[in-house]
Amino acid sequence: MTRIIAGSAGSLTLQVPRTGTRPTSDRVREAIFSALESRDAIDGARVLDLYAGSGALGLESASRDAAEVVLVERAPAAADVCRRNADAVRRAGRGAVAARIRVVQRAVAAYLEGAAPGFDLVFIDPPYDLGEAALARDLELLAPLLADEAIVVVERSSRSPEPTWPAGIEPSRRRDYGETTLWWADATQPAPPSQPA
């Protein structure tokens, strides 16, 4: 069972797609959001949830006062689940969920190629069988879309190697939870161009 942990829609049970997704466990989500709350990283944030599945990570952010949440999911059945869950979060919040929640049914790379910049918090929870090269491409496309001091959380199998980080995204820590590894990273300012001597 997947549920919203806290906030205006706390305890709401979310639907989960029948196949093709691997929902983040409550234990891992609690760890993620405890760390984010301690950094005051959610309230008023623009949040991007890539490979959204049920939308649980993005919708947890909406419940905790994010300003905007975009759920990107290519699979039609999972995108429909995201829409239903988003509607349920809005209803459960009884007007307290002010976040603009959008569900985008597109491939992640296609979405990132045309997205507007300014995301403060990004969750990337791809299928474990997504290749490292595809993840590296997603991260490269994401880097120019990040706001200053943005946080990126990548969830992978504990057997997967560390992601290949592009310029503009700097890894900060790794946390292991059984079969799951969370890679935390921060947006970095590009180095200023060197001045001719």
Convert the pLDDT of each residue in 121-179 to its tens digit: 999 999 888 999 999 999 999 999 999 999 999 999 999 999 999 999 999 999 999 99
pTM: 0.92
Say if domain 32-187 classifies as CATH 3.40.50.150: yes
Please report, for the chain, the start and end positions of each structural domain, with discontinuous segments joined by +: 32-187
**pLDDT tens digits along 23-51:** 778 889 999 999 999 999 999 999 999 99
pLDDT-derived band at 10, boundaries 50, 70, 90: confident
Q: Is 178 helix (H, G, I), strand (E, B) or coil?
A: coil
Collect all residues with Cβ–Cβ distance below 8 Å to 93 and sequence separation of at least 6.
7, 8, 9, 62, 63
What single DSSP character describes residue 119? Answer: E
Using the CB atoms, write b or e for 62-84: b if 16+ within 10 Å: bbbbbbbbbbbbbbeebbebbbe
pLDDT at 194: 47
Of the listed ranges 47-61, 89-103, 160-174, the least confidently predicted one is 89-103
* Statement: residue 62 has pLDDT above 90: yes
Provide the pLDDT confidence category of residue 191 given band limits of 50, 70 and 90: very low
